[in-house]
Amino acid sequence: MQAGIGSLEDLAFILLGITSLTSVLFVILAVKSRDLLMAVIYSAVQSTLYSLLLFLLLAPDIVLVYVAVSVGLLPLLTIMLVKKVGRYET
């Protein structure tokens, strides 16, 4: 039983590592992207990975509010902004 809990914990930590490294990739894509709409989508993907991180860290309360704000409201607000300033960065 004790060994089972230990390996589950290891799995959680491995998943944490993979998720956080993948999120770095999406941050790079969001920074590098000249297409601002794609940048918003990349940052939404990064937020989804962050909410997975929070879930793996056993904080479901934070996940519920983080998903709604960072995947729902924030991209909406930024897409609205992109519509006003133009889609492509020159």
Partner 1 sequence: MKLRNIFFIALIAFITFILLIPTLLGSIGVIPPKDVRDIAKLYLYLTYNQYNRSLWAASPEAVTAIVWDYRGLDTLYETMVFYTAIIAALMLYSEILGYRDIVGGIGLSFIVKRGFSIVLLAIIAVGFSTILHGMLTPGGGFQGGAIVAVAPVIGIIVFSRRIFDYSKLSYKYLVALRSIALIGIVLTPLIPIIVTLGNAFIFQNQVKVLARFSYPSTIIDVPMGGSLTFLNTFEGIAVFTAFMLAFLILLYSEDLSKKPLEGEDIGY
Q: Point out which residues bind partner 1 (CB under 8 A).
A: 21, 24, 28, 32, 60-61, 63-65, 68-69, 72-73, 76-77, 80, 84
The DSSP secondary-structure symbol of 23 reads H
- CB of residue 88 to partner 1, shortest distance in Å: 19
| Closer Cβ to partner 1, 80 or 88, answer by number | 80
- CB of residue 6 to partner 1, shortest distance in Å: 10
User: What tokens appear for 19 in the block?
Assistant: 């998720």
- CB of residue 24 to partner 1, shortest distance in Å: 6
- Cβ 25 vs Cβ 33: under 8 Å: no
The DSSP secondary-structure symbol of 88 reads B
- Cβ 16 vs Cβ 57: under 8 Å: yes
